[in-house]
Structure 1
Amino acid sequence: MSVFSKATGSFVRQMEGDWGGSLIHVSRPHDSHKLVPLAVVVKRKCYWPWQRPKYQPSDFILSDLLLGDAAFDPDVSELDFISYNETSRDDKSGNWKAKADMVKVDLGGAGSSKRKLSFGNLQAQKVNVKRLLEDCRDRELDMRHCLLQQVQKRDEVLAVLKERVLTTTPCAITETMKKQGSCIGALNLLGMLGTEISVQDNFSVDVDRDIFLEIPAQTVIAYSLLELEIEKSGNFKLCLQPETFGGFESDSWTSSRSCDTIDNQGVGNGIDLSRNQRPERAPLSALNSELQKQEQSLCLLAALPFRRCLFEMLLKSLEDRDTLSLQEQALADWCCRADVLELKPQSMNGPSRALLDLLCLVPAIQSENGSPAECSPPPQMTAVHLLVSAMEALPDETLFQLTLCSPEVLQAIDELICQLRSSCQPLPDNSVPAILLEEDGKTWKLLEQLLRSSSVTLERAKDGLRAETGSEKGDLPLVLCLTIRGLSSLCNGDN
């Protein structure tokens, strides 16, 4: 994640109680000039139910989308907000060992980061919503506008900026990162005459990085929106109440392939998981029915010919949330578009392009007449998207704990979770995979920290092992189980 995005995200989390959770952090500094009062922002459609919406500022304001020549200026009030300064420090360490018939590898790592940000005196600007309603009365949207047509085709949502928080003076963000890593490997070969040859190698890596980011005055760091409910005639309403959502009238458009349809593998976009409200504390088995709905898709990962390469690629992505987000968006665009074979966004970063290039090796499913325009992404592509979106939904601490898990440990954790969620009864101690009890309890501690970071607790009682989930963190237990199952499927094999 970029330094700027980390800083603005931290600010929004601190302000969540005061703003009722309506603030959206600005992830990129160059989006600031687009986020003016009444700026039009596109709310990207969520592909999976657990995903949080993503927002993309456009180059337009509301009046650009209205019919008629009469423009209007928003009535904006300004007030001094707060002075915000923050210093945070994070220390992490871990190690794992891998063993095969002739190879032994010990990996260890430690890292620390310190971030200091000073936004100084912040200013809040608010649009007079009552005046806005009066200005929009009897006005209609130009349904021929290019942005409206593109958003309508993708079944996304338009919103307008009603509030924003911006800096008043130049300010700075500094981040210091230190990483240390070591690898000790031993390769034992048995010669043709029975002579044992031993080759040992070890190396260490030290990385120090200091980042200084200066932010100019009048930089927007957070904002809130009013979504638009748009009728097919071009009339629109502003969604004023909390938990009300905008969008296009359902029968106002048709497309050759809707992202809401469920494909022949039982996996679809935005499908209703029919989830009931879970109690505050519930056994892991409460997730079983929800997880079973996705297992058919995730099982397809184990049949990929390049699964080990994909596993290593995704494991690297766990270290960078920005890369995960870009990969998820690229996969969402691919899975939602009919012309999937032609999708090569120039805005992708290197890891995203590499991921799609690898997945291009999986043939697309064509229609009976073989028309490229009617090709659908293969079910394996949807399965990879499911896995990446689950990874992206996890908190930073969980992502870090996953990077400390060897492939063998991941598979053991997956096996343990499958046993725990298959029954409401406690799991006997002798059913726990042996690898989780090795290393003088270090692996078990890693397991506990991994589960706890996503609201799952392990408890050892006299009658066996219990695992419970809490509802305070929503879908975190679900997406953690999906992530572990998906990664375990990929690392199962030598391909």
Structure 2
Amino acid sequence: MLGVLSTCSPLIKMFAKATKNFLKDIDAGGDLIPVYSLNDSDKAHLLGVVAKTRRFWCWQKPKYHFSSCSCTLSDIMTEDKEIKPVVVESEFVKYEGTFGDVIKGNIGAEVGALQMNASGCGYVESQSSFGTLRKQEVDMQHLMKDVHDRRINLHHPFIKQLQENKNDVLCILKEKIVTTQKCIITEHTQTEETFKGKVSMKAKIVKVSVSENGNYLKDENTILEIPPPTAIAYGVVELYIKHNGTFDFCLLSEKKGGFEKENLEKHQHSNPLPSDQLVLFDWDVVDGSKEAFVRKCILRSAPLCLLREGIAAHEKHFSAWKQLPDVQCLELYTLLCQILYDGQALSKLHAVVEDLCSKRKPTQAAFDELMPSQRIIAENILYLSGYDMPNGKFLHAANRELLVALHILTSALNELSDSALAVLGTCCELQLLPVFSALMNMSSDEGLCSTTEPALMDFLDQERFYVSQKLFALFNIELEIKEDFIYAATAEDPGFLPLILFIVITGLQLLKRD
């Protein structure tokens, strides 16, 4: 299967995985943003306008959207005078990377020297080679001279739409990373991982391989060709726009873009939202303060007990599920466990829930790319949470807090890889979530728990411990048995993954009502 600039969902996913892997290697924690689809690559023009939407929860990175009409900075200015950027082009890097998971046999790549009792063995490897990449960058000094004393047209349709959401920021694309030769992206899927004994893991392992000049693995089952020059990453500069249309470039990281408050409030008061499109919750209230968007990652080598405070801040929203009957809760739990094995359906569900938790109403075509069985699961999850997707309406106004709870859970799950979701699903089947909760609650300041604790007895089962260890490793948590103690603490550079895991565990546990 060969596609060039295809919009087919699996091919989009392949391209997105390749660009995310690239930035994880060369710009982890940096300012570059991956291009998620080939359509967006075509829109990535220097000085193109980009909308940045800040997200709800601390672990979520902002979303960036190109304008559908491919606007540039010139198009949104009051004066009809084109701005021609001075572009500096240079060789960026020659990138080659290899990523792999041992899916049967020794899984040392993910959990140390641990040996798995598995039937057969196999290794799924992703080789990424974009070859020599080039950076195209706008000369900001020259640009600032060009736009001195000029104004943004606040009546431009794109700007007016940005003003409707106080969390949207106008950005200008200032740099991009482009390929210099034809690349082939290939994808291989491993659908099952089976261990000796009673434990069977339904893992769908999806890996992306990129190789230049048409040299690609023959046994891969999906192939995507991308031509040069294709943008695979870009950087932006935020704009702070004053109420008279003048603006500043936010050149320092601590300087934040947006619209001056006076102008924003005036616009909001003159355009009240219909009652059926009200935001489900206040952004400033949900996370406790306006500083909720500051991304403070978890410390390395931190005991699990330190996660309790972060989880408690979100657990109060899960309490909405307490109003549901036991049967309805169990049905919702069962459906969510099923969707763990389907990253595409989960992603689509999350997008709809996020729309509902803002002022955007999801389109009826939101689930069109899903198979009928996937669509039924997603629509049933929404229905149990108080929203009738086929008819596009809330069942009861009082049920909207159920969608907030669902939004927290799907927002956390949507950050995970297909492998992590599959292993999490296996742990749900093995009913290990209560054990994980007990481990966090019993963990000492040194990250230790006694192996004699009744609530942790499942860890003494070798196969269950192996699966638990693999799950924790995927979430940057070290899990080991040291003599008479179980040790669990965050690994090197844990990021938000440990917090995400235990937020998911807490939410699912409340639904299961164990």
TM-score band w.r.t. shorter chain: 0.7 to 0.9
In the superposition, relative to structure 1, how do residues 428 and 86 fare at CA in structure 2: closer, same or farther (>3 Å)? closer
Query: Which of 172, 177, 190 is residue 178 of structure 1 equivalent to?
Result: 190
In the superposition, relative to structure 1, how do residues 425 and 481 fare at CA in structure 2: closer, same or farther (>3 Å)? closer
In the superposition, relative to structure 1, how do residues 37 and 240 fare at CA in structure 2: closer, same or farther (>3 Å)? same
Q: 1:353 & 1:66 partners in 2: Cα distance?
A: 46
Mapping 1:90-169, distance limit 5 Å: 90-93=101-104, 113-155=124-166, 156-169=168-181
Mapping 1:28-427, distance limit 5 Å: 28-58=37-67, 59-93=70-104, 113-155=124-166, 156-180=168-192, 210-251=221-262, 252-253=264-265, 254=268, 256=273, 257=278, 261=282, 272=292, 280-301=300-321, 303=324, 305-337=327-359, 344=364, 346=366, 349-350=369-370, 351=374, 355-356=378-379, 358-363=381-386, 378-394=400-416, 398-420=420-442, 426-427=448-449
Q: 1:28 & 1:451 partners in 2: Cα distance?
A: 31
In the superposition, relative to structure 1, how do residues 393 and 314 fare at CA in structure 2: closer, same or farther (>3 Å)? same
- How far is the alpha carbon of 1:62 from its aligned partner? 1.4
In the superposition, relative to structure 1, how do residues 297 and 273 fare at CA in structure 2: closer, same or farther (>3 Å)? farther
1:472 equivalent to 2:493? Answer: yes
For residue 359 of structure 1, give the secondary structure of its aligned residue in structure 2.
Answer: helix
- How far is the alpha carbon of 1:271 from its aligned partner? 7.6
In the superposition, relative to structure 1, how do residues 319 and 277 fare at CA in structure 2: closer, same or farther (>3 Å)? closer
- How far is the alpha carbon of 1:108 from its aligned partner? 9.4
- Asked whether the equivalents of residues 260 and 268 of structure 1 are also in contact (C-alpha less than 8 Å), the reply is no
- How far is the alpha carbon of 1:316 from its aligned partner? 4.4
- How far is the alpha carbon of 1:389 from its aligned partner? 0.9
- How far is the alpha carbon of 1:324 from its aligned partner? 3.8
The range that moved more, 48-57 or 410-419, is: 410-419
- How far is the alpha carbon of 1:34 from its aligned partner? 0.6
In the superposition, relative to structure 1, how do residues 332 and 206 fare at CA in structure 2: closer, same or farther (>3 Å)? closer
CA RMSD of aligned residues (A): 4.1
For residue 36 of structure 2, give the secondary structure of its aligned residue in structure 1.
Answer: coil
- How far is the alpha carbon of 1:84 from its aligned partner? 3.0
Amino acid at match of 1:224: G
Deviation string 1:168-213 (CA, Å, 9 cap, x unpaired) is: 22221122333346799x9xxxxxxxxxxxxxxxxxx999961111
Amino acid at match of 1:298: F
- How far is the alpha carbon of 1:356 from its aligned partner? 4.7
Higher strand share: 1
Higher helix share: 2
Q: 1:274 & 1:422 partners in 2: Cα distance?
A: 28
Q: 2:239 & 2:458 partners in 1: Cα distance?
A: 51
- Asked whether the equivalents of residues 160 and 225 of structure 1 are also in contact (C-alpha less than 8 Å), the reply is yes
Amino acid at match of 1:385: H
- How far is the alpha carbon of 1:435 from its aligned partner? 6.1
Deviation string 1:435-483 (CA, Å, 9 cap, x unpaired) is: 62364x1111222232233233345456744433358323222111001
Compute the TM-score of the two structures, normalised by the length of structure 2: 0.75
The range that moved more, 32-41 or 112-121, is: 112-121
Query: Which of 472, 488, 495 is residue 509 of structure 2 equivalent to?
Result: 488
Deviation string 1:100-140 (CA, Å, 9 cap, x unpaired) is: xxxxxxx9998753434442332221111111111211111
Q: 1:117 & 1:425 partners in 2: Cα distance?
A: 37
Amino acid at match of 1:217: P
The range that moved more, 271-280 or 33-42, is: 271-280
For these two proteins, the number of residue pairs brought into alignment is: 452
Q: 1:316 & 1:125 partners in 2: Cα distance?
A: 44
Return 5+ residue gaps in structure 2 as ranges. 1-9, 106-117, 199-203, 207-218, 388-392
* Bigger Rg over Cα: 1
- Asked whether the equivalents of residues 348 and 367 of structure 2 are also in contact (C-alpha less than 8 Å), the reply is no
- Asked whether the equivalents of residues 92 and 110 of structure 1 are also in contact (C-alpha less than 8 Å), the reply is yes
